[in-house]
Homo-oligomer: A and B are copies of this chain.
Amino acid sequence: MSSIDDATADSSLTGRELLLDAAESLFYERGYQSVGMDEVRAASGLPLKRIYALFPGKEALAVAMLDGRDRRWHVSLAEHVDHYRSPSQRVLAIFDWLSDWLAGPGHRGCAWINAHGELGGTSEAIRGAAQRHKDRFRAYVTELATEAGAPRSIADAIFLLAEGCMVTAGISGSPEAAGQARRAAQLLLQHGATG
């Protein structure tokens, strides 16, 4: 299991880290508007005054938390992919990693998809964070697929399969979509190399 999901309390963490970890757990589990700043304060152990010295408001805290999670998410994914040498195996490793990630306890799908669903219509900043994350992920998938000899159309398809499996796993509560997406990606890499 990756370290994406468990933000464990550690007394050596800075206030900023304590705050972002607490915000991440709470916001991921219940959404943004359902979690009050007082709960964030209690979970982080920081006084409200310090929280508002670190971030100008709740929205900025949410964006910082999403961006921090994005960094760790991509590092964790790339670490897993880098266990493999074969270009096509590196593409398929995305789905293995997603399968592990989506099977984590209390998993509720992709944090950016959920954030966009809740606040994409009202917060420019949150929509931007979601777009940044998805753009980075798409670029990474395209890079791996291209190295495996796949044309752009197959790279696009593999990205969409990954997105589909994230959203489906989130709603259904089961990670089995990752295996289905992996089999489809394998087929596309095998038969679509000339497409």
Binding site for B on A (CB under 8 A): 29-31, 33-34, 108-109, 112-122, 127, 130-131, 134, 153-154, 156-157, 159-168, 170-172, 177, 180-181, 183-184, 187-188, 191-192, 195
Contact = CB atoms under 8 A, between A and B. Distances in A.
Contact of A168 (B121, B163, B170, B183): B163
B192 A187 contact: yes
A174 to B, nearest CB: 11
Name the prevailing secondary structure of the A interface residues: helix
Contact of A184 (B112, B121, B160, B180): B160
A118 B108 CA distance: 11
Contact of A122 (B31, B130, B177, B191): B31
Nearest to A111: B117
Contacts of A109: 116-117, 120
Contacts of A130: 171
Contact of A164 (B31, B114, B115, B163): B163
28 contacts: A29-B121, A31-B119, A31-B121, A31-B122, A33-B118, A34-B119, A108-B120, A113-B113, A113-B167, A113-B171, A114-B117, A115-B117, A117-B170, A120-B171, A131-B171, A153-B187, A154-B184, A159-B168, A160-B160, A160-B165, A160-B180, A160-B181, A161-B161, A163-B163, A163-B167, A187-B188, A187-B195, A191-B191
A167 B164 CA distance: 8
